[in-house]
Copies of this chain bind each other. A is one copy, B any other.
Amino acid sequence: MEFLTGITPKETMELDMLVRPELAGSKVKVNGFVHAIRAMGDVVFVVLRKRGGLLQCVFEEGVSELSAKQVRESQTVELSGRLELDERAPHGIEIRVTGGRILSAPYAALPLPIGKWKLNTSLEAKLDYRSISLRNLRERAKFRIQEGIVRGFRDYLYSQQFTEIHTPKIGAKGAEGGSNIFKLDYFHRPAVLAQSPQFYKQMMVGVFDRVFETAPVFRAEKHNTKRHLNEYTSLDFEMGYIGSFTDLMEMETGFLQFTMKLLETEYKKELELLGIRLPDTKRIPTVRFDRAKELVAEKYSRQIRNPYDLEPEEEQLIGQYFKEEYNADFVFVTHYPSKKRPFYAMDDPEDTRFTLSFDLLFHGLEITTGGQRIHDYQQLCDKIAARGMSEEGMEFYLNTFKCGMPPHGGLGIGLERLTMKLVGEDNVRETTLFPRDLSRLEP
């Protein structure tokens, strides 16, 4: 009988293991994608693309039993050789090849010039050939940064005693109702895809106090803008026993600070590759919704058209205002009008036209919506009635409140938007692996 006891060390070495001056002169074995080939007379430079970055391998005439002539772009190969230090090579090292073998070979040339520093291709082409365009180092790096954000979110919340949950994406009725819902047939019963984990995460506050989820959400919105997707990854948390909704904004500030540190330490290479200057998260200003509108109207000589709504241009100007006046990258806009928030939002007892809620703007773009929720059963029923809504399909949600719930609130962060702003892109599709929008259902 054979037994497995865990991973066995690989003979082949990764970049972080290779970039060590004390290894100069030693025999090493590596593998990777053939990213680029440059023939210089008797010497051929074969640049491998590895998960850690590029690695220069040098074929000298007659030295290796595997001839440089057999090596072609987009093959994957395993090479043996001597590691040498060379300042001109990526990471200051190169492999003088003595042998190797071809692991796999392509059947066609790449449709995009992925070897270039900047992939000067249309967004459409990048998305059409997504599995190829991401082979470009800088395109790939954006999604490493995205990983860092999700990891930061989870690790910070674990440290704050949140419990991770997994809530269903197929349900009988949309959590927040409305028309922007994808419908499907569920064994001959009508069903919908979750627009958000809202109801579930609230209900789980009564169980775990603090919960979070990082999962896809689905919105059948017919927006066709640079900042909308029909499926995206939502970073959601919900916490009980809050003193006020400021607790929620403070928790988000803590998450952002934690994540920036994580990116600085664990994703340094990617930050450098993309030339990212991390935003300031030390202190994040807060401003009331109505006050923000006034400030922007005054400073930029703009008329307030609708006192109960923020236009995208206004959001942008609020971002600009706080950058100019306070050098702030983020700003919490608080006390959104009740009309513009869902029924479960807690109205401000001091002025019920407004809610104890907030959005977080990052360089003028909304990346988070959050706030305190109503936790009293009767208050919730009253608000549903006042809005002319029906309780139908919400019985299990309402019953939870009937059985008692602590004061609580939470928020949802759009992962792709946050990534987009962080890496300095201006279309959310640039920071979505496989975007879904009005026209795009593939790849």
Contact = CB atoms under 8 A, between A and B. Distances in A.
A186 interface: yes
Contact of A3 (B103, B158, B284, B400): B284
Given A8-B250, A103-B407, A403-B74, A166 B207 contact: no
A22 to B, nearest CB: 22
A178 interface: no
B169 A150 contact: no
Contacts of A243: 10
Interface in A162-191: 163-172, 182-187, 189, 191
A201 to B, nearest CB: 11
A218 interface: yes
A5 interface: yes
Contact of A402 (B108, B143, B167): B108
Provide the main secondary structure of the chain A interface. Answer: mixed
Contact of A208 (B51, B160, B186, B415): B51
Interface residues of A, number: 123
A163 B184 CA distance: 32
B166 A415 contact: yes
A372 interface: no
Interface stretch (A80-88, A132-140, A363-371, A383-391): A132-140
A284 to B, nearest CB: 5
A396 B443 contact: yes
The 6 closest A-B pairs by CB, nearest first: A106-B404, A396-B443, A74-B404, A131-B203, A184-B184, A51-B209
Copies of this protein in the assembly total 2
Given A4-B285, A6-B250, A168-B436, 19 more contacts: A3-B283, A5-B253, A7-B253, A10-B243, A51-B209, A76-B405, A78-B241, A104-B407, A106-B403, A130-B396, A131-B207, A131-B399, A151-B154, A168-B216, A169-B231, A170-B182, A170-B218, A170-B231, A187-B220
A144 interface: yes
Interface stretch (A37-45, A60-68, A297-305, A373-381): A373-381
A290 interface: no
A376 B105 CA distance: 8
A287 interface: yes
B407 A171 contact: no
Nearest to A129: B399
Given A164-B151, A182-B170, A441-B191, A402 B3 contact: no
Given A140-B207, A185-B183, A254-B7, A433 B167 contact: yes
B104 A406 contact: yes
A408 to B, nearest CB: 9
Interface in A219-256: 220, 222, 230-231, 233, 240-241, 243, 246-247, 249-251, 253-254
A241 B404 contact: no
A442 B154 CA distance: 27
Given A209-B51, A441-B186, A169 B216 contact: yes
A344 interface: no
A161 B165 CA distance: 25
Interface string A1-44: 11111111010101000000000000000010100000000000
Given A6-B254, A404-B75, A443-B396, A433 B104 contact: no
A206 interface: yes
A216 B215 contact: yes
Contact of A207 (B134, B167, B186, B282): B134
Nearest to A241: B31
A308 interface: no
A404 B14 contact: no
Contacts of A146: 166
15 contacts: A1-B287, A2-B286, A3-B284, A7-B160, A8-B250, A33-B206, A52-B161, A103-B406, A104-B404, A104-B406, A131-B207, A140-B208, A168-B435, A172-B442, A182-B184
A246 B104 CA distance: 19
A332 B49 CA distance: 33
Interface string A193-225: 100000010011011111000011010101000
